[in-house]
Amino acid sequence: MKRTTSQNIALYAGVVAVCAFLLFPIYWLVVTALATSAELSQLPPTFWPESPQWETFTKVWAERPIPLWLLNSTLAALGSVALSMFVSVLAGYSLSRFSVRGGHSLGLFILTAKMLPATLLVIPLFSIFRSVGLIGSLWSLVIAHSTLIIPFTTWMMKGYFDTIPRELEQAAMVDGCSPLSAMVRVILPIATPGLAATALYAFVLSWADYAYARTFLTNEQGSWTANLGITTMKGEYVTDWNEIAAAAVFIAVPIIVIYLFLERYLVGGLTAGAEK
Q: CB-wise, 187 or 249, nearer to other proteins?
A: 187
Crossing angle (nearest 10°) for helices 241-266 and 5-34: 140
- Residue 273 interacts with other proteins (CB under 8 A)? yes
Region binding other proteins by CB under 8 A among candidate stretches 69-77, 114-122, 130-138, 174-182: 174-182
CB of 197 vs other proteins, minimal distance in Å: 17
Q: How long a stretch of residues is the chain?
A: 276
Considering only 134, 172, 197, 205, the residue that binds other proteins (CB under 8 A) is: 172
Q: How far is the CB of 162 from other proteins (least distance, A)?
A: 15
183 binds other proteins (CB under 8 A): no
**SS3 assignment for 118-154:** HHHHHHHHHHHHHHCCCCCCHHHHHHHHHHHHHHHHH
Under 8 Å between Cβ of 219 and 205: no
> Among 175, 234, 253, 259, which residue sits at the site for other proteins (rule: CB under 8 A)?
175
Long-range contacts of 57-64 (CB under 8 A, 24+ apart): 57/33, 57/246, 57/249, 57/250, 59/243, 59/246, 60/243, 60/246, 60/247, 60/250, 61/250, 64/229, 64/233, 64/243, 64/247
Figure out which of the listed residues 55, 63, 167, 263 binds other proteins, where binding follows CB under 8 A. 167
Please report how close the Cβ of residue 161 comes to other proteins at its closest, in angstroms.
15
Binding mask 27-66 for other proteins (x = CB under 8 A): ----------------------------------------
Of 33, 30, 150, the residue nearest 88 (C-alpha): 150
* Cα–Cα distance measured from residue 234 to residue 232, given in angstroms and rounded to the nearest whole number: 5
Stretch that binds other proteins, among 40-48, 103-111, 123-131, 167-175 (CB under 8 A): 167-175
Judge residue 180's burial from the number of C-beta atoms within 10 Å of its C-beta, 0-12 exposed, 13-18 middle, 19 or more buried. Answer: exposed
Angle at 161 between CA 160 and CA 163, to 5 degrees: 70
| Among the residue ranges 33-41, 117-125, 193-201, 265-273, the one whose residues contact other proteins (CB under 8 A) | 265-273
272 binds other proteins (CB under 8 A): yes
The reply on whether position 184 binds other proteins by CB under 8 A is no
Widest CA span in the chain: 73
Looking at 67, 159, 189, 222, which residue binds other proteins (CB under 8 A)?
189
* Residue 198 Cβ vs other proteins, minimum distance, rounded to whole Å: 18
Q: Check: CB of residue 141 under 8 Å from CB of residue 212.
A: yes
Binding of residue 150 to other proteins (CB under 8 A):
no
The residue within the footprint of other proteins, chosen from 36, 94, 137, 271 (CB under 8 A), is 271
Q: Residue by residue, what is the 3-state secondary structure of 4-28?
A: CHHHHHHHHHHHHHHHHHHHHHHHH
101 binds other proteins (CB under 8 A): no
- Residue (172 or 246) nearer to other proteins, CB: 172
Interface ranges with other proteins (CB under 8 A): 165, 167-168, 170-178, 181, 186, 189-190, 270-276
